[in-house]
């Protein structure tokens, strides 16, 4: 049996807010699932299997797949939980895709969610790292990301203002997204005037903590015509999860031709080779990238092949990644606007699907046909998916 | 809905000041590393038999070679600054349950003789005074106060 091509036929997302006290975690999940089922014209009965993910320690509930069955619709169905840090939502998407591509399931529901308001995010992130070598001095994602920002500026000459451009761009885009958390007109001076959290990273450079959920329905090519929406096809996926301690990513930056971020660079190479991408800025119509802080919008663009090393600042300032540019990045507002961690990677996938289906409302990139979605997390881990309007000639892992 | 009204209508329960203690194993080589820091203020690394790289922090498998490592080699308590930050936002450290003292210098350090890097405090909170490539040295906790953890190294200081 050959692998099946799979398409996204339904998307559901909750509004992303700092605190959703009006819903429990199970109810939040249910809100996204109901929206995805409605969007795909299905009921719970039609779903063959469910893949769900969050970061358990943000809510302190370690048995989420079982605890949430009433809300997720998984009662009496195959369910698998995936938890991979910041990449959780993108890993959930890839897991659901693999289920369908295997030929064993026709309709698979992917769910990502988080209620970051229920605990201290930095404390919870610290507990994801090694208790001997990392935790005693670690300051969570903010401190960890600041290390790479320092290195990036020192080695490329990029400035804090260059990074601030990315935060301004994404949050301005979020104004067009009724689901986004931070929706605001800002400017570089305003970002620059926010206090340092961990030099050189300021409050305005960081993503917010968010409560929210997202659900996406993947369907096999055999039945993909049975739904009200034209499918958004998965053209290919790749991921790399390399190295465990917080200092390891710096040791291994230059292995096998790497520059900044070997996991992302290797996933990118594999994925672009499979799908036939040689010039991402020209070939992708849209990108929804997991940029958890502003400097990522410079440095990760280089690892994703959108520009040469040290070319991040010139790329973003050219306007090519703005709405109306060659390849708008994060029309939804991205992670800098909303970060319900377990939902975040799946939202990138959902947003690209809506774009290539032409259903992205006020944030639609006109005529978008091919897009890139990424997940970032863990200790510099990387998930990447290419999603398109056209059906690919074959299924690709 | 206004936040105040929201808080009145929708209840939350607090976990309170809970503790869930764990007991982690450092393993054979991790124990050796921490014991040597505690008793002798000496750093040891572990060498891959295939690629020859010396790892600090110590571990038993070289990931890229997928080779088991058993050879311990001495490394210096001095090294180079690779990259750094100055952490200034307040948070509760889940390892202690207490507010982390901020600001603190936070650094990736390459000890002389090691190929992998260590992450620790640097005793400088002015980012203008820090630069990649600077020489640094470990400052140990006083005799009798070292317990066999990475905090037996108080911080690194600029030489």
Between 3.30.1330.20, 3.40.47.10, 3.20.20.70, 3.90.480.20, what CATH number should domain A121-208+235-388 receive?
Answer: 3.40.47.10
Predicted complex ipTM: 0.95
Residue A172 has pLDDT above 60, yes or no: yes
User: What is the average pLDDT across A273-285?
Assistant: 98
Calculate mean pLDDT across residues A104-120: 97
- Residue A104: predicted pLDDT: 96
CB contact, 8 Å: A140 with chain B? yes
Q: What is the pLDDT of residue A254?
A: 86
Fold of A6-120+211-226: Peroxisomal Thiolase; Chain A, domain 1 (3.40.47)
Domain chopping of chain A, boundaries: 6-120+211-226, 121-208+235-388
Cα–Cα dist B159/B156, whole Å:
9
CB A125 within 8 A of CB A116: no
Residue B1 in this model has a pLDDT that exceeds 70:
no
Model pLDDT, residue A306: 98
- pLDDT-derived band at B95 (thresholds 50, 70, 90) equals confident
Q: pLDDT category, A157, cuts 50, 70, 90?
A: very high
What is the rounded CA–CA span in Å between residue A237 and residue A383?
8
pLDDT band for position A255 (50/70/90)? confident
The answer to whether residues A374 and A384 touch, using CB atoms and an 8 Å cutoff, is: yes
Same fold, A6-120+211-226 and A121-208+235-388: yes
Using 50, 70 and 90 to split pLDDT, how confident is the model at A302?
Answer: very high
B83 vs A: CB within 8 A: yes
What is the mean predicted confidence (pLDDT) over A56-70? 94
A243: nearest CB among B12, B24, B63? B63
Q: In this complex, do A137 and B150 lie within 8 Å of one another by their Cβ atoms?
A: yes
pLDDT for the residue numbered A1: 58
Measured torsion, CA atoms of residues A223, A224, A228, A234, in degrees rounded to the nearest 10: 160
From B117, which residue of chain A is nearest by alpha-carbon distance? A247
Query: What per-residue confidence (pLDDT) applies to A45?
Result: 97
| Helix, coil or strand: residue A388 | strand
Contact A127 B94 (CB under 8 A): yes
- List the 172-211 stretch of A: residues with Cβ below 8 A of B: 195-201
pLDDT at A358: 98
Which residues of chain A make contact with B34, given a CB cutoff of 8 A? 132
Confidence of residue B3 (pLDDT cuts 50, 70, 90): confident
Query: Which of B87, B92, B150 is closest, CB to CB, to A136?
Result: B150
Check CB contact under 8 Å for B57 and A245: yes
With beta carbons under 8 A apart, name residues in chain B contacting A249.
none
Q: How far apart are CA B112 and CA B119, in angstroms?
A: 14
Find the residue in A nearest to B12 (Cα).
A21
Nearest to B26 among A126, A132, A196 (CB): A132
Residue A192 DSSP SS3? helix
Tokens of B54: 């010396």
Q: Which residues of A228-253 are buried (b: 16+ CB within 10 A; e: fewer)?
A: ebebbbbbbbbbbbbbbbbbbbbbbb
Name the residue among B119, B121, B132 with its Cβ closest to that of A247: B119
Query: B81, B89, B129: which to substitute to probe chain A, counting the most A Cβ within 10 Å?
Result: B89
3-state SS of chain A: helix, strand, coil percent to 5? 40, 20, 40
Distance CA B27, CA B31 (A): 6
Percentage of chain A with pLDDT > 70? 100
Averaged pLDDT of chain B = 95
Beta strands in chain A (DSSP E): 6-13, 49-53, 79-81, 107-115, 196-199, 201-202, 211-220, 232-240, 286-288, 370-377, 381-388
Q: Are A281 and A129 in contact (CB under 8 A)?
A: no
A339-371 tens-digit pLDDT: 999 999 999 999 999 999 999 999 999 999 999
A146–B12 CB contact, under 8 Å: no
- Residue B2: its pLDDT value, please? 66
Does the beta carbon of B87 lie under 8 angstroms from any beta carbon of chain A? yes
DSSP single-letter state for residue A110: E
Tokens matching residue A90:
């993108």
pLDDT digits (tens, 9 = 90+) for B132-154: 999 999 999 999 999 999 999 99
- Give percent of chain B above pLDDT 90: 87
């Amino acid at each position: 049996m050959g692998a099946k091509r799979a398409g996204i036929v339904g998307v559901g997302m909750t509004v992303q807010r700092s605190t959703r006290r009006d819903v429990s975690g199970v109810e939040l999940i249910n809100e996204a699932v109901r929206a995805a089922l409605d969007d795909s014209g299905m009921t719970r009965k039609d779903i063959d299997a469910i893949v769900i993910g969050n970061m358990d320690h943000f809510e302190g509930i370690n048995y989420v797949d079982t605890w949430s069955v009433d809300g997720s619709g998984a009662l009496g169905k195959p369910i698998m939980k995936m938890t991979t840090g910041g990449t959780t939502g993108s890993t959930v998407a890839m897991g659901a895709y693999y289920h369908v591509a295997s030929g064993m399931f026709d309709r698979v529901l992917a769910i990502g969610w988080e209620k970051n308001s229920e605990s201290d995010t930095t404390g919870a992130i610290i507990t994801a790292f090694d208790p001997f070598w990392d935790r005693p001095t670690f300051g969570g994602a903010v401190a960890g990301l600041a290390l790479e920002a320092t290195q990036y500026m020192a080695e490329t000459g990029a400035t804090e203002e260059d990074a601030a451009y990315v935060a301004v761009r994404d949050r301005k885009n979020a104004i067009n997204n009724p689901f986004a958390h931070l929706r605001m007109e800002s400017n570089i001076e305003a970002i620059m005037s926010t206090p340092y959290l961990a030099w050189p990273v300021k409050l305005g450079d960081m993503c917010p903590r968010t409560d929210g959920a997202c659900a996406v329905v993947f369907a096999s090519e055999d039945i993909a015509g049975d739904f009200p929406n034209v499918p958004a096809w998965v053209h290919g996926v790749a991921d790399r999860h390399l190295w465990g301690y917080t200092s390891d990513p710096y040791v291994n930056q230059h292995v096998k031709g790497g520059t900044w971020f070997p996991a992302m660079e290797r996933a990118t190479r594999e994925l672009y080779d499979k799908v036939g991408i040689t010039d991402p800025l020209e070939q992708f119509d849209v990108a929804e990238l997991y940029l958890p802080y502003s400097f990522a919008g410079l440095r990760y663009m280089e690892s994703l092949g959108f520009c040469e090393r040290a070319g991040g600042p010139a790329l973003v300032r050219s306007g090519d990644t703005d709405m109306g540019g060659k390849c708008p990045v994060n029309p939804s507002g991205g992670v800098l606007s909303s970060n319900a961690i377990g939902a975040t990677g799946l939202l990138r996938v959902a947003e690209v699907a809506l774009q290539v289906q032409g259903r992205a409302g006020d944030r639609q990139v006109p005529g978008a046909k091919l897009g890139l979605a990424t997940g970032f997390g863990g200790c510099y881990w990387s998930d990447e998916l290419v999603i398109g309007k056209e059906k690919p000639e074959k299924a690709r892992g | 809905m206004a936040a105040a009204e929201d808080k009145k209508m929708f209840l939350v329960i607090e976990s309170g000041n809970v503790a869930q203690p764990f007991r982690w194993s450092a393993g054979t080589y991790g124990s050796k590393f921490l014991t040597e820091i505690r008793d002798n203020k000496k750093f040891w690394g572990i060498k891959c038999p295939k690629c020859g790289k010396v790892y600090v922090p110590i571990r038993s498998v070289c990931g890229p070679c997928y080779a088991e490592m058993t050879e311990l080699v001495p490394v210096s308590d001095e090294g180079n600054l690779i990259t750094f930050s100055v952490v200034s936002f307040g948070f509760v450290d889940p390892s202690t349950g207490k507010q982390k003292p901020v600001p603190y210098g936070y650094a990736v350090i390459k000890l002389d003789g090691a190929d992998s890097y260590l992450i620790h405090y640097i005793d400088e909170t002015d980012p203008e005074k820090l630069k990649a490539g600077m020489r640094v040295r470990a400052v140990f906790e006083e005799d009798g106060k070292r317990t066999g953890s990475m905090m037996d190294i108080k911080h690194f200081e600029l030489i």
